[in-house]
């Protein structure tokens, strides 16, 4: 049996906001995150779909995070394009694909 991969979250903190209309509404969660490398396959798949991936992060697993929320890192707001809950890591993680929207108002 393969031992679970150990994850660290030492790249900073990310705030999660509910969205009302097209603007962030209320902060409901702050977590530490670790930045991941955007793989070649994921990069070119996004490009083929005429979109881009600006950041890929992992946070301790939190099933309350959805693509309907916004993430804010260092004052920069991101749309959450994809949420993946990974259970075979220690601790379990949530991987988020982010697209930059701009600086927080």
Q: Do strands 5-6 and 89-90 pair parallel, antiparallel, or not at all (unpaired)?
A: parallel
pLDDT of amino acid 21: 87
pLDDT by residue for the chain (105 residues), tens only, comes to: 667 778 999 999 999 999 998 888 899 999 999 998 766 565 556 555 556 789 999 999 999 999 999 999 999 999 999 999 999 999 999 999 999 998 876
Q: Do strands 93-103 and 55-60 pair parallel, antiparallel, or not at all (unpaired)?
A: antiparallel
Question: Which CATH number applies to 5-103?
Answer: 2.40.10
How many Å separate Cα 67 from the centre of its chain? 9
Quote the pTM value. Answer: 0.85
pLDDT of amino acid 102: 85
Q: Tell me the HSE value of 17 on the side-chain side, using a 13 A CA sphere.
A: 18
Closest CA to 90 of 57, 56, 55, 58: 58
pLDDT of amino acid 3: 72
Q: 8-42 burial string, b = 16+ CB within 10 Å, else e?
A: ebeeeebbbbeeeeeebeeeeeebebbebeeeeee
């Amino acid at each position: 049996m393969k031992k679970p991969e150990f994850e660290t979250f030492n790249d900073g903190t990310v705030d999660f906001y509910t969205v009302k209309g097209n603007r962030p509404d209320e902060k409901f969660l702050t977590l530490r995150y670790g930045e991941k490398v955007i793989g070649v396959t994921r990069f070119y798949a996004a490009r083929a779909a005429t979109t881009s991936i600006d950041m890929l992060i992992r946070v301790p697993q939190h099933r309350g995070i959805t693509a309907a929320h916004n993430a804010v890192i260092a004052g920069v707001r991101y749309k959450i394009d994809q949420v993946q809950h990974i259970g075979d890591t220690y601790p379990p993680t949530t991987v988020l694909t982010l697209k930059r929207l701009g600086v927080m108002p």
